[in-house]
Amino acid sequence: MAATQKISVAMGRDELRLAKTAAHEEGVSLSAYVTRAVRERLQERRRMEAARELLSTFAPDELPTPEEQRELVELWTRARPAIRRPAKTRPARKRRAQAT
């Protein structure tokens, strides 16, 4: 298990509400949901950097047009579809029998 560090993050109320709802629907904690979002964003940045680095290796006469470059970068940086996990269900609470 990776080492973790507790932090404090401020976000808007609407974003927090939506993130909590999404995390619940995916059956993960808010912490896991936010961690995954950050991880995915960092991966996206690495893919974008790699795409730009690759484009910089093209010879001037072989460079794609600006439109082709945008299309290539979009293709190369497109994230894979996220796997949706079914929400965890909690067992129904048993009601205590009331003594009469």
Q: What is the largest CA-CA distance in the chain?
A: 90
CB 84 within 8 A of CB 22: no
pLDDT of residue 88: 55
Quick: pLDDT tens for 9-46: 999 999 999 999 999 999 999 999 999 999 999 998 99
Query: How many whole angstroms separate alpha carbon 50 and alpha carbon 48?
Result: 5
Q: How confident is the model at residue 72 (pLDDT cuts 50, 70, 90)?
A: confident
Among 35-39, 52-56, 66-70, 82-86, the minimum mean pLDDT is found in 82-86
Average pLDDT, the chain: 81
* Tokens read off for 35: 């961690």
